[in-house]
Structure 1
Amino acid sequence: MLHRPRNIMRTVACCSLFLATGLVPALAADPTGDWRVSDGVANIRVAECNGSMWGVVAWEKTPGGRDKNNPDVSKQNRPTLAMPILIDMKKKPAVDTWEGQVYNAKDGQFYSSTIKPVGADQLEIQGCVLGFLCGGETWTRVAGPIPSSPANSMAKGAPKATGPLPKAAAAAAPAAPKTTGSAKANQKQAAGQPGDIGDICLLPDIARFAH
């Protein structure tokens, strides 16, 4: 009988621990941040702009690329750095998947696409032509999640914490976003440095759709 209060307290403590751990929802996957494409030739910066995910070329292994395969002749000389790759991707209900379009600079075409975070450091991207001939690849995180744009009308609350990067990703990570993008990024690219295109939501090719 003398041990019963102790047993009761132990039971209450166990129940409290279960309630504290079992009822907390899992953190949603976050596709924002910088991602290295599978062949390593570029990093894509993904950010939320007015409720949609957009992704642009944030770093190039070989600086000075041009959109030479674009069927629009007026765009064939535009730099591939800061060029939108993931276009207006909307979250699908009840799943950590976003769908929209992907621009393939190798052939200058847009394709239906989905992106899906896998764990904390991988992003699966799938693209299809006319609903078939689907293919995809896996990108690797090189910089942590980033907050919603200050210019984004959907932004709420304080910036999200980025947390530590995986060791391999931290070693390859470029500088974190600091500015809104300028000629300095192109100068650094020309010198073979990572550079920083800044807040992609402020890029003209995105701002005119996302605001």
Structure 2
Amino acid sequence: MRLAIYTGIILAGGYAGLTPALAADPTGDWRVADGVANIRVAQCNDSMWGAVSWEKQPGGRDENNPDVSKKNRPTLGMATLINMKKTPGAEQWEGQVYNAKDGQMYSATITPNGTDQLEIKGCVLGFLCGGETWTRVGPPIPPSTANAMAKGPPKTTGAAPKSAPAPAAAAPAPTAAAPKSAAAAKPGQKGATDPVGDICLLPEIAGFAH
């Protein structure tokens, strides 16, 4: 499994429908080298975080992590951009990037370049400090109070059970409707086509942020 590419190399392409007004927004899904993975970037509290949101070859493991307890953790949903803070006076965020090739953290910056590219600069290859570029494959993700503050699933209200028993024949309906809503899931919404969903709620990120 070529996990090193999670730190990114230049790719061509873009995401249709974006406007110049979004040029400075680093959130959304970004494609790394050779099309083997997407990184989802979102604002969690006051920081930018990135996590693997899709893999061309499912089932990857963080096998090069020096921490034995993490060697078997799935790379899907794994944080790659760590706690990146906005640089004052610049459209740039500074923090750390996790390099799955050697299981090490390196200082890095991310800078949007137009609407469809995100520049990653830092020691991302372990032995070579330079710059890489990711290409947008998903739209920006708006900030969410739930994303930033939630520590667990929302609690249900007491009104729902009263109305639920009324339509007895309607019970099977949600099963048939579920695939439709999953197929329409947008970045940041968990579903059958998006197993990662809101990265701010991933334990690794939520635990750090709170």
Q: TM-score range by the shorter chain?
A: 0.5 to 0.7
**Counterpart of 1:39 in 2: which secondary structure?**
helix
Contact 2:23 2:112 in 1 (8 A): no
2:81–2:98 Cα contact (<8 Å) kept: yes
Residue 117 (structure 2) aligns with: 122
Distance of 2:129 and 2:37 partners within structure 1: 22
Aligned match of 1:151: 147
Larger radius of gyration: 1
1:100 equivalent in structure 2:
95
CA distance in 2, matches of 1:151, 1:105: 26
Gaps of 5+ in 2: 1-20, 150-183
Asked if 1:89 is matched to 2:84, the reply is yes
Aligned equivalent of 1:32, options 22, 27, 44? 27
**Does structure 1 residue 176 correspond to structure 2 residue 186?**
yes
Percent sequence identity over aligned pairs: 73
Output aligned runs, 1:1-211, within 5 Å. Answer: 29-128=24-123, 133-149=128-144, 150-153=146-149, 176-177=186-187, 179=189, 181=190, 195-211=194-210
The one-letter code of the counterpart of 1:142 is V
Deviation by residue 1:140-160 (Cα, 9 ceiling, x = unmatched): 00000001132314xxxxxxx
Asked if 2 retains the 8 angstrom alpha-carbon contact of 1:176 and 1:196, the reply is: no
Deviation at 1:27, TM superposition (A): 6.3
3-state SS of paired residue (2:69): helix
CA distance in 1, matches of 2:143, 2:96: 21
Contact 1:58 1:197 in 2 (8 A): yes
2-structure distance, mates of 1:145, 1:87: 18
Using the TM superposition, give the Cα deviation of residue 80 of structure 1 relative to its aligned residue in structure 2, in angstroms: 0.0
Which 4+ runs in 1 deviate beyond 4 A?
none
Q: Deviation digits for residues 3-49 of structure 1, max 9, x if unmatched?
A: xxxxxxxxxxxxxxxxxxxxxxx766100000001332100000000
Q: Report the TM-score when normalising by structure 1.
A: 0.67
CA distance in 2, matches of 1:120, 1:126: 18
Would you say the 8 A contact 1:38–1:137 is kept in 2?
Answer: no
Counterpart position of 1:169? none
RMSD in angstroms over aligned alpha carbons? 2.3
CA, structure 1 residues 71+146, in 2 after alignment: closer, same or farther (shift >3 Å)?
same
TM-score by length of 2: 0.67
Report if aligned partners of 2:28, 2:187 keep a CA contact under 8 Å in 1: no
- Aligned partners of 1:175 and 1:196: how far apart in 2? 10
Q: What is residue 21 of structure 1 aligned with on the other side?
A: none
Query: 1:97–1:116: 8 Å Cα contact kept in structure 2?
Result: yes
Residues 55-64 or 32-41, more deviating: 32-41
Identify unmatched segments of 5+ residues in structure 1: 1-25, 154-173, 186-193
TM-superposed CA distance for 1:136, in Å, is 2.3
Quote the Cα distance in structure 1 between the aligned partners of 2:137 and 2:22.
Answer: 20
Matched positions, count: 154
Name the structure, 1 or 2, with higher relative contact order (CA <8 Å, separation 6+): 2
Q: Distance in 1 between matches of 2:109 and 2:80?
A: 12
8 Å contact 2:42–2:48 — kept in the other structure?
yes
